[in-house]
Amino acid sequence: MKIYLTVCLLISAVLIGGCATGSSGRPAARDLGLIGGAILGAIAGNQIGSGGDGNVIAGAVLGGVLGGVAGESLDQRKEKLEAAEAQRQHDYEQEVQAQQKLEQSIRSLEAQRELDAIARKATTEDVLAAEREAARVESILAAERKAYQASQDRARRIKEAQGRLSQAQQELAELERKNAGLD
C-alpha cells in the first residue's frame, strides 16, 4: 500500500508541476525541486513515527512544497542572470557601434583637415600642375592598357591557331592511316 501511495504521489507531483521546461529545454528547477522534495519527504515521512500513510503523505506534501519553492528561487536567479547577460551583450554591441561611428567621424575630419590644408596653400599654378600631371599619368595608363590588351589578343589568337593546328594534324594522320589501309 505504501509503495502504491508513493507512486501515486510522484505521479501527482509530475502532473501538478506540468513538466515545464526551462529555456535550455531541460525541466525547470521548480519542477525538479517539487518532485525531488516530494520523494525525499515521502521517504522521511515513512521513517518518522510509525511510518503510516499520513506521515508519508505529509512528508511528500511538505517536501514537494519546500522543493518547489527552492527550485523556483533557482529559476528566478537563473532568469535574472540571463537577463543581465543579455543586457551586457546589448550594451557591448551599442558600445561597438558608437566606437565605429567615432572612428568614421575621425577619418572624415582628418580627410577634411587635409583638404583644408591643401586649400590654404594651393595656388592656381599648383592646380594646373596637378591637373597636367594627372593627365600625363592617365595617358601613360591608357597606353599601357592598350598594349596589354593587344598582347592578350595576340596570345588568344596564338592559342586558337595552336588548337586548329592540332586538330588538323590529327585529321591528317587519320586520313593517312585510312589511305595506307591500316584502318
| 10 vs 112 pLDDT, higher one | 112
Show which of 81, 101, 119 is a domain's final residue.
Answer: 81
Domain count, the chain: 2
Question: 107 lies in a domain?
Answer: no
pLDDT at position 14: 56
Mean pLDDT of the chain, nearest integer: 85
Is 116 inside a domain boundary? no
Domain shared by 77 and 135, yes or no: no
Neighbours of 17 (CB within 10 A): 20
Look at the alpha carbons of 143, 148, 151, 156 in this order and tell me if their dihedral is positive or negative.
negative
Q: What is the pLDDT of residue 104?
A: 96
Has residue 21 been placed in a domain? yes
pTM over 0.85: no
Top-confidence residue, 37 or 96: 96
Least confident window among 14-23, 27-36, 64-73, 163-172: 14-23
pLDDT of residue 4: 52
| CA–CA distance, 13 with 65 (Å, rounded to integer) | 10
Q: Specify if 114 maps to a domain.
A: no
Confidence of residue 154 (pLDDT cuts 50, 70, 90): very high
Which cell is 53 given? 500513510
- Inform me whether the pLDDT recorded for 99 exceeds 90: yes
pLDDT tens profile 66-89: 888 888 988 899 999 999 999 999
How many angstroms separate the CA atoms of 30 and 65, rounded?
10
The model's confidence at residue 49, banded by pLDDT at 50, 70 and 90, is low
- The residues facing 91 across adjacent strands are none
Full domain range(s) for residue 42: 2-81
Of 50, 81, 112, the one marking the end of a domain is 81
**How large is the average pLDDT for residues 146-156?**
96
Q: Could you tell me the three cell numbers for 109?
A: 575630419
Whether 68 and 7 map to the same domain: the answer is: yes
Confidence class of residue 9 from pLDDT cuts 50, 70 and 90?
low
Whether residue 103 is contained in a domain is answered as no
Percent of the chain residues past pLDDT 70, beyond the cut? 84
Report yes or no on 109 lying in a domain.
no
Cβ proximity of 65 and 72 under 8 Å:
no
**Average pLDDT, stretch 29-52?**
82
In this structure, are residues 34 and 13 in contact, taking their beta carbons and an 8 Å threshold? yes
Give the pLDDT confidence score for residue 147 in this predicted structure.
Answer: 96
